[in-house]
Structures are given as C-alpha cells and as structure tokens.
C-alpha cells in the first residue's frame, strides 16, 4: 500500500503545493497525494469583491477541484478537517480518517466575528463566491424595496473594496443607498503610508462613502444596527470585514502560534519537536520576517510557501538538504473599484490608475490557465476607458 502525502486546503498555498508535487511525481512512486478541502471549488479570492459589483461571472474564478485533481493524478477529498492527531499521524475529517507520512497545512483564514454570535448570524461576510453572490443579490433585493444604509465594519483593504464595489453595483442599478465604513482604530488602513491613506480617503469622500473611526458595530438584528457609541442606524445592511482567524482545527491544535497562526521555522516546518514532516503555508503559517513580525497574509506568500513546502517534502525523501523560504515582497495595492488602486509595488508608490491596471494584471496572471480567457474578457471590459 502507498504512503500518504496530505495537503489540507486547496487555496493558493495548497494548489501551488499540489501542482509542484504532481509535476515531480516520478520522485513520489511510493506515495499517494491527497488534497482535502471543504469546498468543491478552488476560488480566486482577490476577485470576490468584483462579484459584488456584478461585472464578473462566478465561473471565471471557480475551478472544480475534482477535475483539477484528476488531471494532476492526485486524490481530491471534499470534506472538512476537524482535527489533526499528531501522535497517530492522521487527519480526522467530518466523514473519515486519513493517515499521513507528510503533511502540508494550508487552510487559509476566515472572517473573525470575535465570538459575537449575534453578529456572526446576522452580518454578511466575504470568504467565498457564495458569500459574494449573497451580498450582491441581497443588496439588489433590499434596495429595490427601500433605501438601504450599508454598514461595512472594518476599514482595511477588504472593507474598502467591499464598500466601493457595493457603491458601483447600486449606482449602476440606480437604486437608493448610503454607505458607512466603521473602523474601531483611530484611522482606516492602519498599516499603510499616510499618502496612500489620503488617496483612499479622498476617493471615499468623492463617492459619498462616510467613514466613522474609533467605533464598531455592537448590535445588529432585523434591520436595526447599533454602534458601540450608541449611534443607531435604521434599514441597515451590515457587512463584517473586521478581521480574520484561522480554521477551528488549527485553533484547537496544541502548537506554538502567533495570533492563531501556526509558528513555522525558516523551512516552513511546524515549530516543535519531531515536526520535520509537517509543513505549514499561507495564511495558516506565522513566518517570522527579519523585523520579527509574522509575514502579512497575501497570495504571493501563500503560493511561494506552498511550493517550498512541496519541494521540501521531495528533498527530504531524496535525503537532500531542505530549503529555507525566502519571501519576496512585491508590495500591495488597494483596489477602490473606480479605476483607482493606490499602493506600493517593488518598494515604490504607484499612482491609483497604474495600480488599478497592475491589480487586474495580477488577477489575470495568477488566475488558473483554463480560466484565463474568461478573466481576460472581464478585465478588458473593466479596464475600458
Ligand atoms: C476579499 C479578499 C480579497 C483579497 N485580495 C487580495 C489581493 O488582492 N491580493 C493578495 O495578495 N491577497 C488578497 N487577499 C488575501 C488572500 O486571499 C489570502 O492571503 C490567500 O488566499 C491565502 O492563501 P491560503 O492558501 O493560505 O488560503 P486560502 O486561499 O484561503 O485557501 C484555504 C483553503 O482551505 C480550505 N479550508 C479551510 N479550513 C478547512 C477545513 N477545516 N477543512 C477543509 N478545508 C479547509 C478553504 O476552503 C480554502 O479553500 C484577499 C482576501 C480576501 C478575503
């Protein structure tokens, strides 16, 4: 019987690892590769906000994992991981148990409601294609009945993307709405430079999107929202984008963590004794940068780490030295929908127009080969003057 290499999570890190292992199958004759994900499709997350705006079809950014795996000669398991038993070296999912000799944990992150059940049940969130379509359809539905007051909780990259895409959708459909971004910190976009903050603020101002800082959502039931300051909002439509956390099975795993992410060494091995066969990639991993902080969550890091984790499994099987991960930070962009995406690319600030083009170029470049023509058509329509 073959031994098992198991990858948990078929997102950016997991898919990159699966591709690398499939490409080097000759080296893995005694091993079967299992890719586990609770979703049937791999979803291209950076374009989820574009689904809200309604200019992109979900098929352009969804890849069937069963078909993908068949093509690569790997086994796809559509199931939710509940636990890792590190002593017995097995994965316990909702419906089965899978033993592993090598493991890559690449289970990403999900919206964090900070244990507030009322808000988690009533607010919309944006983790998947299903969530994006729900936001879009509910927005259209509700705004057709009366003016809605959209409250986006969280003034980070994703919150602003959601706000501006919702603005685009309702403006295009000539429906009545207002949008407020509520941020707990004293300022929105706390991690970026003042210059970028200023560009983002003036764009929100131009669009009539209100920003409230130093406050958060406290209650939301029916259509009534109340902020921590006591301020009440009627006909509210709340979307929560105020933080992320790792999967429950990671949170329950006894291991060293930074804000819920698993601490890894320079080779992406889980920190701890006897963990040379367990690797972690992407948002699930806390990889220490030279500044001593954990690397931020971004697809370029997830892809790079997925590849290195897979490479290290092959090197380890061949008795070769395993490689350390060297992150290359290409920068970040904040897409604000109306042909504006300020940010930093290769260390230099880029103007909002160039940034917008670069963001969609990245989306096209990073999208799966079989989806490129659909993404290209959508991007072309989007970039048209
Ligand atoms: C709306 C939005 C826009 C973004 N835009 C950008 C951007 O423009 N550029 C950028 O660099 N980054 C962006 N990010 C961040 C980026 O998407 C993440 O950093 C990246 O997806 C991390 O990759 P990953 O492989 O770690 O996880 P993911 O790509 O999230 O994949 C994790 C996979 O694990 C699966 N999974 C989780 N738990 C379980 C379980 N218990 N059992 C089975 N399967 C499980 C999930 O279903 C998922 O398929 C964005 C994020 C969001 C939410």
Which residue's CA lies nearest to atom 29 of ligand 1? Answer: 11
pLDDT digits (tens, 9 = 90+) for 55-82: 899 999 999 999 999 999 999 999 999 9
* 3-state secondary structure labels for all residues of the chain: CCEEEEEECCCHHHHHHHHHHHHCHHHHCCEEEEEEECCCEEECHHHHHHHHHCCCCHHHHEEEHHHHHHHHCCEEEECCEEEEECCCCEEEECCCEEECCEEEECCCCEECCCCCHHHHHHCECCCCHHHHHHHHHHHHHHHHHCCEEEEEECCCHHHHHHHHHHHHHHHHCCCCEEEEEEECCCCCCCCCCHHHHHHHHHHHHHHCCEEEECCCEEEEECCEEEECCCCEECCEEEEECCCEECCHHHHCCCCCEECCEEEECCCCEECCCCCCCEEECHHHEECECCCCCECCCCHHHHHHHHHHHHHHHHHHHCCCCCCCCCCCCCEEECCCCCCCCCEEECCEEECHHHHHHHHHHHHHHHCCHHHHHHHHHHHHHHHCC
Q: Is the CB of 7 under 6 A from ligand 1?
A: no
The DSSP bridge partners found for residue 224 are: 221
- Regarding whether 297 and 218 lie in a shared domain, the answer is no
pLDDT grade for 255, boundaries at 50, 70 and 90: very high
In a domain, 124, yes or no: yes
Q: What is the pLDDT of residue 59?
A: 95
Q: How many CA atoms lie within 13 A of 45 on its CB side?
A: 18
Question: Does the beta carbon of 220 lie inside 6 Å of ligand 1?
Answer: no
Q: Euclidean distance between the first and final Cα of the chain, in Å?
A: 59
Q: pLDDT band for position 349 (50/70/90)?
A: very high
224 and 297 in a single domain? The answer is no
Tell how far the Cα of 144 is from the centroid of ligand 1, in angstroms: 32
Please identify, by atom number, the ligand 1 atom nearest to the C-alpha of residue 48. 1
Q: Assign 363 a pLDDT band (cuts: 50, 70, 90).
A: very high
Residue 15: CB within 6 Å of ligand 1? no
> Quick one: 287 and 162 in the same domain?
no
Say which CATH number the domain at 212 has. 3.50.50.60
Clarify whether residues 191 and 307 are in a common domain. Answer: no
d(CA 109, CA 102): 22
Nearest CA owner, ligand 1 atom 53: 127
Of 305, 329, 353, the one marking the end of a domain is: 329
Which tens digits make up the pLDDT trace of 306-319? 999 999 999 999 99
Question: What separation in Å is there between the alpha carbon of 49 and the centre of ligand 1?
Answer: 14
Q: Map tokens 């999570």 to a residue.
A: 9
In this predicted model, what pLDDT tens digit does every residue of 77-125 receive, in sequence order? Answer: 999 999 999 999 999 999 999 999 999 999 999 999 999 999 999 999 9
Give the whole-angstrom CA distance, residue 18 versus residue 12: 10
Tell me phi and psi for residue 182, to 5 degrees: -110, 125
Query: Is 57 a domain residue?
Result: no
Contact 241, 162 (CB under 8 A): yes
Query: Positive or negative CA dihedral for 110, 284, 43, 40?
Result: negative
Judge if 102 and 27 occupy the same domain: yes
Q: Count of CB atoms within 10 A of residue 7's CB?
A: 32
Stretch 143-159: mean pLDDT: 97
pLDDT value at 201 more than 80: yes
Q: What confidence tier does 365 reach under pLDDT thresholds 50, 70, 90?
A: very high
Work out which ligand 1 atom sits closest to the CA atom of 297.
19
Q: CB of 286 closer than 6 A to ligand 1?
A: no
Tell me, yes or no, whether 138 and 190 share the same domain: yes
Please give the tally of structural domains in the chain: 2
Is 338 inside any structural domain? yes
Instruction: Answer yes or no: do 132 and 235 share one domain.
Output: yes
pLDDT band at 42 (very low <50, low <70, confident <90, very high): very high
Is residue 70 in some structural domain?
no
Residue 238 placed within a domain:
yes
Residues 6 or more apart whose Cβ sits within 8 Å of residue 327: 287, 289, 295, 301, 304
Cα distance between residue 375 and residue 61, in whole Å: 8
Q: How many CA atoms lie within 13 A of 222 on its CB side?
A: 5
Nearest atom in ligand 1 to the alpha carbon of residue 363 is 8
Ligand 1 centroid to 269 CA: how many Å?
20
11 Cα to the center of ligand 1, angstroms: 6
Residue 56 falls within a domain, yes or no?
no
Same domain, 306 and 365: no
Tell me the residue range of the domain where 234 lies.
Answer: 117-244+332-383
The Cα–Cα gap between 91 and 86 comes to 8
Best mutation site among 6, 11, 287, 379 for ligand 1 pocket (most ligand atoms within 8 Å of CB): 11
CA 42 to ligand 1: nearest atom: 49
CA 198 / ligand 1 centre spacing (Å): 28
Is 202 in the same domain as 178?
yes
pLDDT at 274 over 80: no
Does one domain contain both 212 and 165? yes
Nearest to 130 by CA among 225, 52, 220: 52
How far, in Å, is the centroid of ligand 1 from the Cα of 46? 9
Same domain, 341 and 201: yes
**Largest distance between two CA atoms of the chain:** 66
Per-chain mean pLDDT for the chain: 96
**Closest-lying ligand 1 atom to the alpha carbon of residue 79:** 43
Task: Tell me what the mean pLDDT of segment 130-154 comes to.
Answer: 98
- 320 and 212 within one domain: no
CA–CA distance, 135 with 71 (Å, rounded to integer): 33
Q: Which atom of ligand 1 is nearest to the CA of 80?
A: 42
Measured in whole angstroms, how far is the alpha carbon of residue 150 from the centre of its chain? 22
């Amino acid at each position: 019987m073959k031994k098992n290499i198991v990858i948990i999570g078929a997102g950016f890190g997991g898919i990159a690892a699966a591709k690398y292992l499939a490409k080097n199958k000759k080296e893995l004759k005694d091993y079967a590769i299992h890719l586990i994900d609770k979703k049937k499709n791999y979803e291209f997350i950076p374009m989820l906000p574009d689904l809200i705006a309604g200019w992109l079809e979900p098929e352009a950014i969804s890849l069937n994992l069963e078909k993908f795996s068949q093509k690569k000669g790997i086994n796809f398991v559509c199931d939710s991981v509940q636990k890792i038993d590190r002593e017995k070296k097995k994965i316990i999912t909702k419906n089965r148990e899978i033993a592993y000799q090598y493991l890559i944990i690449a289970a990403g992150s999900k919206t964090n409601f900070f244990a507030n059940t009322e808000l988690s049940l009533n607010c919309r969130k944006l983790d998947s294609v299903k969530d994006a379509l729900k936001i879009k359809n509910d927005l259209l539905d509700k705004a057709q009945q009366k003016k809605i007051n959209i409250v986006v909780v969280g003034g980070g990259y994703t919150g602003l993307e959601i706000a501006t895409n919702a603005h685009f959708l309702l403006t295009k459909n000539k429906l009545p709405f207002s949008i407020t971004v509520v941020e707990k910190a004293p300022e929105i976009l706390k991690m970026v430079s003042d210059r970028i903050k200023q560009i983002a603020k003036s764009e929100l101002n131009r669009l009539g999107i209100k920003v409230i800082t130093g406050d958060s959502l406290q209650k939301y039931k029916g259509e009534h929202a109340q902020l921590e300051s006591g301020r009440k909002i009627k006909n509210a439509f709340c979307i929560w984008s105020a933080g992320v956390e790792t999967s429950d099975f990671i949170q329950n795993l006894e291991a060293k963590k930074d804000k819920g992410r698993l601490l890894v060494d320079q080779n992406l091995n889980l920190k701890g004794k006897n963990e040379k066969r367990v690797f972690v990639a992407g948002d699930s991993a806390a990889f220490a940068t030279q500044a001593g902080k954990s690397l931020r969550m971004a697809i370029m890091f997830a892809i790079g780490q997925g590849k290195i984790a897979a490479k290290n499994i092959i090197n380890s099987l061949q008795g070769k030295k395993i490689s350390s991960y060297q992150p290359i930070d290409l920068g970040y962009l904040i897409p604000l929908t109306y042909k504006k995406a300020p940010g930093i690319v290769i260390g230099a600030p880029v103007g909002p127009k160039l940034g917008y083009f670069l963001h969609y170029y990245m989306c096209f470049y990073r999208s799966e080969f079989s989806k490129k023509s659909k993404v290209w058509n959508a991007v072309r329509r989007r970039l048209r003057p």
